[in-house]
Chain A
Amino acid sequence: MNTGCDETHCITCSDEGVPMQVVEVSATGLALCAGGDGGRSEVMTDLVGAVSPGDSVLVHAGVALTRLA
């Protein structure tokens, strides 16, 4: 997941949304997710209900905003 701010990318932004795949689910409402570039990060999944490994979600600033069908 490209989360750095550089000349082509701004994570602050409002309208950044990164498709990611759930790799591992923890008991604390967090899920380890992988982006298209192979980078992994911890994501809050409170807004999309229970997730399972393999599910695709749209992630913004550490939160899964919606599921991708």
Chain B
Amino acid sequence: MRFVDEYRDAELGRVLASEIVATVEPGRQYKVMEVCGGHTHTIYKYGVDDLLPENVELVHGPGCPVCVIPMGRVDDAIAVAREPGVIFTCFGDMMRVPGGHGTLLEAKAQGADVRMVYSPLDALRLARENPERDVVFFAVGFETTAPSTALTLMRAKAEGARNFSVFCNHVTIVPPLRALLESPDLRLDGFIGPGHVSTVVGARPFEFIPADYRKPIVISGFEPLDLLQSVHMILRQLAEGRCEVENQYKRVVPYDGNPQALAVLAEVFELRPHFEWRGLGFISHSALKLSAAYSGFDAELRYPVPGVRVADPKACQCGEVLKGVIKPWECKVFGTACTPERPIGTCMVSSEGACAAYYNFGRFAREREVV
């Protein structure tokens, strides 16, 4: 298919891999973080890391929105799903994320009406088809997904839908990156920037990374050749002593983003003062809630939400995985107590979570790294 096949060409991949080898300085160790879960998924599905020299290590970042949802928010979602008359809708992965008291899938088995949808628009359609029920959509995702929720809410408002609301957990990409860069145990040389988030916000918001932290970032596409080229661009910046924002994904990402999408987000949402991220703690201005104009659709105002903070299980090291401090297979419960079938931590739930990506593509048999 066009826009896909040409970015999976094995011969071009080998050429890029040899250019990467020629760019690295022998004896120097490079650590590059891919921010986005979609990149992690591509890297392990296609074995991109196997084409890199041994001294170039890819570290997996916090860009999987399922993986960063704290357990307390899942409990809140389950509480709303159990309200009488509610049809609770969410994307499939969220159904298996464990809260402090089970998962949405378990709540469904116990009688709650929880349904998987493919988009918020499907949830609004359910509301139209079930006027006697109240349909709630569990909104999760970065700036890529938030416009879909926003446009659906604008439609709901225009239609005068009274039986539709949103439990909003949308998050923003820049604050957690800044929090990561402030983390004292982080040692990174550069970043592979999130491609589709940038379709909405553009490449400009990432300028603080070279300006304030002197590290290169390359906004990257999601095919194997995109990632190889992005790694090459980062290594070339390092070799030439440069650090700047470069856009490898120009075929999709305008430097200033999508102005219509940004306008829609500004109308429907406002920033929360703070929000808890799994493994990263509370981060200021890192999540969205519905604006005053849309507060009538806010499930948190419509239903009693417990709002209890739940500590992660002690055995779970998702936080360290999300910060790139350890590799997934270095977690004590990886592949034993924690598997995609019975996940303890969120990184094992979503297929874009670093642990699930390792597990599903057979990359869990590596030897423990000696630091």
Interface residues of A (CB under 8 A from B): 3-17, 19, 36, 41-42, 44, 46-48, 56, 58, 60-63, 65-66, 68-69
Task: Give the complex CA separation of A68 and B360 in angstroms.
Answer: 31
Task: Assess the A65–B199 pair: CB atoms within 8 A.
Answer: yes
Interface: B140 (CB within 8 A): yes
Note all chain B residues with C-beta closer than 8 A to A46.
Answer: 151, 260, 264
Contact A15 B94 (CB under 8 A): no
Out of B64, B258, B351, which one reaches A9, CB within 8 Å? Answer: B351
7 pairs, CB–CB < 8 Å, chain A vs chain B: A8-B351, A14-B63, A14-B65, A17-B144, A41-B118, A44-B121, A47-B258
* B 297-321 binary contact with A (CB < 8 Å = 1; else 0): 0000000000000000000000000
Max chain B C-beta neighbours (<10 A), residue from A6, A12, A47, A61? A12
Within the assembled complex, what's the spacing in Å between the Cα atoms of A5 and B2? 24
CB-based contact B121/A62 at 8 Å: yes
Cβ contact within 8 Å between A61 and B360: no
Q: Are A14 and B141 in contact (CB under 8 A)?
A: yes
- For the complex, give the distance between the alpha carbons of A62 and B351 in Å: 20
CA distance A61 to B350 in the complex (A): 16
Among B2, B120, B351, the one with the most A-chain Cβ atoms within 10 Å of its Cβ is B351
**How far is A63 from B222 in the complex, measured between Cα atoms in Å?**
18
Residues of B within 8 A of A14 (CB): 36-38, 63-65, 141-142, 144-145, 194, 196-197, 352
B144 near A60: Cβ-Cβ < 8 Å: yes
Report the bound CA distance from A4 to B36 in whole Å: 20
Given contact pairs A12-B140, A36-B1, enumerate 15 new A-B contacts (beta carbons under 8 Å). A5-B93, A5-B351, A10-B37, A10-B41, A12-B92, A12-B141, A13-B141, A14-B65, A15-B36, A15-B142, A17-B222, A48-B260, A62-B121, A62-B148, A68-B3
Of B36, B37, B66, B148, the contact of A60 (CB 8 Å cutoff): B148
- Quick one: CB contact mask for B80-123 with A, threshold 8 Å, 1 for yes? 00000000000111100000000000000000000010111110
Q: Does B147 contact A (CB under 8 A)?
A: yes
Interface membership of chain B positions 196-216, coded 1 if the CB is closer than 8 angstroms to chain A and 0 otherwise:
110110000000000000000
> Are B350's CB and A10's CB within 8 A?
yes
CB-based nearest A residue for B254: A66
Nearest CB in chain A: distance from B315 CB, A:
23
**With A7-B360, A56-B2, A56-B3 in contact, do A17 and B196 touch (Cβ < 8 Å)?**
yes
B271 at the interface (CB under 8 A from A): no
Query: Quick one: given A7-B356, A17-B196, are A65 and B261 in contact (CB under 8 Å)?
Result: yes
Tell me how far the C-beta of B61 lies from the nearest C-beta in chain A, rounded to whole angstroms. 11
State the Cβ distance, A69 to closest chain B Cβ, in Å.
7
Residues of B within 8 A of A68 (CB): 3, 251-252
- Which chain A residues lie closer than 8 Å to B120 at the CB level? 61-62
- Is B128 an interface residue when CB atoms closer than 8 A count as contact? no
**Among candidates A15, A44, A48, A56, residue contacting B222 with C-beta atoms closer than 8 Å:** A15
B64 & A13 in contact (Cβ 8 Å cutoff): yes
Which one, A8, A16, A41, A69, contacts B251 given CB within 8 A?
Answer: A69
Name the residue among B264, B340, B350 with the largest chain A CB count within 10 angstroms.
B350
Q: Do the beta carbons of B252 and A58 come within 8 Å of each other?
A: yes
- Cα-based distance from A60 to B121 in the complex (angstroms): 12
Q: Give the shortest distance, in Å, between B84 (CB) and chain A (any CB).
A: 27
B30-77 CB contacts (< 8 Å) to partner A: 36-39, 41, 45, 63-66
- Asked if B195 is an interface residue, CB under 8 A from chain A, the answer is yes
Contacts of A61 in B (CB 8 A): 91, 118-120, 141, 144-145, 148
Query: When chains A and B are docked, how far (Å) is the Cα of A48 from the Cα of B254?
Result: 13
B4 located at the interface, meaning its Cβ lies under 8 Å from any Cβ of chain A in the complex: yes
A41 vs B195: C-alpha distance when bound (angstroms): 23
| Cβ distance A47 to chain B, nearest Cβ, rounded Å | 5
Please indicate the chain A residues that have their CB under 8 angstroms from the CB of B144 in the complex.
14-17, 60-61, 65
- Give the CA-CA distance A41 to B125 in the complex, in Å: 13
